[in-house]
Amino acid sequence: MAEVYLTPEGKKELDDKLAYLKNIRRTEIAELISEARAQGDLSENAEYDAAKELQAKNEYEIAEVEAMLKNAIVIEGAASDANTVAVGVTVMLRNLTAKKDVEYQIVGAAEADPLKKRISNNSPVGAGLIGHKVGETVEIITPGGPVNFKIKGIRG
Interval 34-47: pLDDT, tens? 998 888 777 778 88
CA distance 138 to 128: 8
Q: What is the pLDDT of residue 77?
A: 58
95 pLDDT band (50/70/90 cuts)?
very high
**Domain residue limits at 21:** 4-74
- pTM as predicted: 0.72
Handedness of CA 24, 25, 31, 35 (dihedral sign): positive
CA distance 82 to 104: 15
Q: What is the mean pLDDT of residues 63-83?
A: 81
Instruction: Give CA 47 to chain center in angstroms.
Output: 33
Whether residue 83 lies inside any domain: the answer is: no
Render pLDDT for 98-151 as a digit per residue (tens, 0 to 9).
999 999 999 998 899 999 999 999 999 999 999 999 999 999 999 989 999 999
CA distance 17 to 24: 10
- The helix (run of H) or strand (run of E) holding residue 93 is strand 90-95
Indicate the range of 13-17, 36-40, 92-96 predicted with least confidence: 36-40
Domain count for the chain: 2
CATH number at residue 51: 1.10.287.180
Render pLDDT for 22-36 as a digit per residue (tens, 0 to 9).
999 999 999 999 998
Final residue of a domain: which of 46, 74, 102? Answer: 74
Q: What count of Cα atoms within 13 Å lies in the side-chain half-sphere of residue 53?
A: 6
CATH number at residue 106: 3.10.50.30
Q: What is the pLDDT of residue 67?
A: 94
9 pLDDT band (50/70/90 cuts)?
confident
Final residue of a domain: which of 48, 74, 100? Answer: 74
Q: What is the pLDDT of residue 75?
A: 82
Whether residue 95 lies inside any domain: the answer is: yes
Whether residue 82 lies inside any domain: the answer is: no
